[in-house]
Structure 1
Amino acid sequence: MTYTGRVVVGGPSDLRRLDAVEIRKLAVGPLANDVYLLTCRRTGAQVLVDAADSPDDVLALVREGSPSARLDLVVTTHRHADHSRALAAVAAGTGAAVAVGDPDADAVAAATGVHVARRVGHGDVLQVGDLTLEVVALRGHTPGSVALAYREPGAVREPEAVAGRVHLFTGDSLFPGGVGNTDRDPARFDRLLTDVTERVFDRFDDATWVYPGHGDDTTLGAERPHLGAWRERGW
């Protein structure tokens, strides 16, 4: 089946199979948070992006990728509670290490009781099996919000694979139609839109696939024409 990126709470996960990685997307919780599981196809190593809610469902997602429930790393994209309500249960149930953007790490640890093994910053690299994930700090929604960028390798064998294409997991910093909530604070909005412009749109091409923290996916090509309108409207 072709990946669509459209999932609903209580429904099944959606699977995208690329040459080196399988990407699973699941919606959980009252705010319909998106949870992503990346599985290295050669090594079986796995990384979860946001153990958001409904720990039994998140653990079931982990088992979809690995029947042994192997989970190497959980990345929490930012400190808001709806992105980490299942973190303690998932970390305890799998033994996975936890990574958080450094400015948000203390808040996540205090709220969840989970040890943050890796405090990451802009430009850091996370290696999970054969998968290389670049940390892109996007300040403004929270001080420590991070995105993860995965670039497909050169060879293409799977129908959905595209050599060199970037897959960007943006948490609540970039959605279809705009950047994340900055509570109408002009300084925070300017910081976030500037980071998104300089660190995402100026670096990655239109084929880049965006996996947000809630709702449907998008591409940078679909959103790029609207950057000026976003800045003008101020949110």
Structure 2
Amino acid sequence: MSTTNDNPTGTRVDKVVTSGTFSLDGGTWEVDNNVWVVGDDSECVLIDAAHDVDAITAAVAGRQVRGILLTHAHDDHIGVACQLAGDFGTHTYLHPADRELWDRTHPGVGPDSDLTDGDTFTIGDVTLEVLHTPGHSPGSCSFHSPDLGAVFTGDTLFQGGPGATGRSFSHFPTIIDSITEQLLTLPPTTVVHTGHGDDTTIGAEAPHRQEWIDRGH
């Protein structure tokens, strides 16, 4: 686990890397996922719920979990969401456009609450704003915190470009529009905390937008 303490008032970002599989369209792949724990010494929220209950619980370290915010409903991001919600006595939050994907992993048990573009969550002394960023999936969301100077993008934007759009429920022009309108408009210094792999910044990615379009991946 790694920790970032960029906010002078005490809220920190813990990164937990978990390992497991992602399955869709008849295929299964080994993946490492980033789970983000945002909070202070007494409370936190989780961003995504991937693979490893014990590792995530260790990162929570006894704090009150105010919610599990899901960037999207691919199985590698939500696999242990219901178990963690029960363990911590908290709610899962998902954009309703990803409900069909959710139901493939958790049939008969819905997410507790919907995410809507513009919703805000206050945790510790920072606010997270929901940005609906479809394309990788219909309900993909990012979570922007001006206080932290960071955005949590799930699989919408990575170091090097957009998330994959070659499988069911995804659409390349839509992800480009989402990144252009919702993410590249953020301050260039904004740190991008991704769903897999290393961080980047909005300023590092913005100059390459036309290259992504030309590549059309």
Which category describes the TM-score, using the shorter chain as reference length? 0.7 to 0.9
Aligned amino acid, residue 92 of structure 2: V
Shift of 1:70: 1.7
Aligned amino acid, residue 136 of structure 2: H
Deviation string 1:39-93 (CA, Å, 9 cap, x unpaired) is 135xx22100001111111111111xxxx34211001110100001121221111
| Correspondence for 1:25 | 15
Unaligned runs of 5+ in 1: 1-12, 153-164
1:190 aligns with 2:173: yes
CA–CA separation in structure 1 for the residues paired with 2:83 and 2:49: 9
Contact 1:59-1:69 at 8 Å conserved across structures: no
CA–CA separation in structure 1 for the residues paired with 2:144 and 2:200: 14
| Correspondence for 2:40 | 40
Among all aligned residue pairs of Structure 1 and Structure 2, give the percentage whose two residues are the same amino acid.
32
CA–CA separation in structure 1 for the residues paired with 2:125 and 2:16: 23
Shift of 1:124: 1.7
| Correspondence for 1:81 | 75
Change (3 A) 1:196 1:127: same
1:83-232 matches, within 5 Å, as: 83-105=77-99, 107-108=101-102, 111-112=105-106, 114-152=109-147, 166-183=149-166, 188-201=171-184, 203-232=185-214
Deviation string 1:181-235 (CA, Å, 9 cap, x unpaired) is 11079x811111011011111x211101000000000001111111110011101
2:94 aligns to what SS in structure 1?
strand
Contact 1:173-1:179 at 8 Å conserved across structures: yes
2:151 aligns to what SS in structure 1?
strand
Question: Which portions of structure 1, spanning 4 or more consecutive aligned residues, are displaced by more than 3 angstroms?
Answer: none
Aligned amino acid, residue 19 of structure 1: P
Contact 1:122-1:135 at 8 Å conserved across structures: yes
Instruction: Return the TM-score normalized by structure 2.
Output: 0.87
Change (3 A) 1:110 1:69: farther
Aligned amino acid, residue 37 of structure 1: V
Unaligned runs of 5+ in 2: 21-30
1:46-65 matches, within 5 Å, as: 46-63=44-61
2:214 aligns to what SS in structure 1?
helix
Change (3 A) 1:85 1:184: closer
Shift of 1:133: 0.8
Change (3 A) 1:106 1:82: same
Q: Root-mean-square deviation (CA), in Å?
A: 1.9
